[in-house]
Amino acid sequence: MRHLNSLLYGDIDVERGRSPDVAVNAFKDLINKVKDDFPETQILILSMKPTLIDDFLGKEGRKNKIITNEKWLAYCNDKENLHYVDITNPMLNPECRLRSDIFISDGMHLNALGHTLWDPVIRKKIANLTK
């Protein structure tokens, strides 16, 4: 039987002011449902991306994304078939600041260049799953 792979990403809960715990628990519920029906599924969770407008989205938006990412990483580290993918680091310039050239004019959504930065990171993680 062929195994399924799933890729999960979501940041809207935190961007709308919900706590990191609420966001993480919502994904845990989804993951548990997938695991119940498809226990061999490999699940990749993408880190929440920083945006140019995080500070305008809500109280402590950027900080809560960082906390959520830390919680994701810790959760994935001790789970079989669950993998954390850090898509944040490729979005930073050599000075570790968020690149502005990878967003469309709204400062939130990635442009084509932004997506090309994620592509090799995600592909590498998927390739490692098939070994």
Query: pLDDT tens, 16-26?
Result: 888 899 989 98
What's this model's pTM, rounded to 2 decimal places? 0.86
Full set of structural domains in the chain with CATH:
5-129 (3.40.50.1110)
**CB neighbours of 19 closer than 8 A, spacing ≥ 6?**
64
* Residue 85 Ramachandran class (φ > 0 left, ψ -120 to 50 alpha, else beta): beta
Query: pLDDT tens, 100-127?
Result: 999 999 999 999 999 999 999 999 998 8
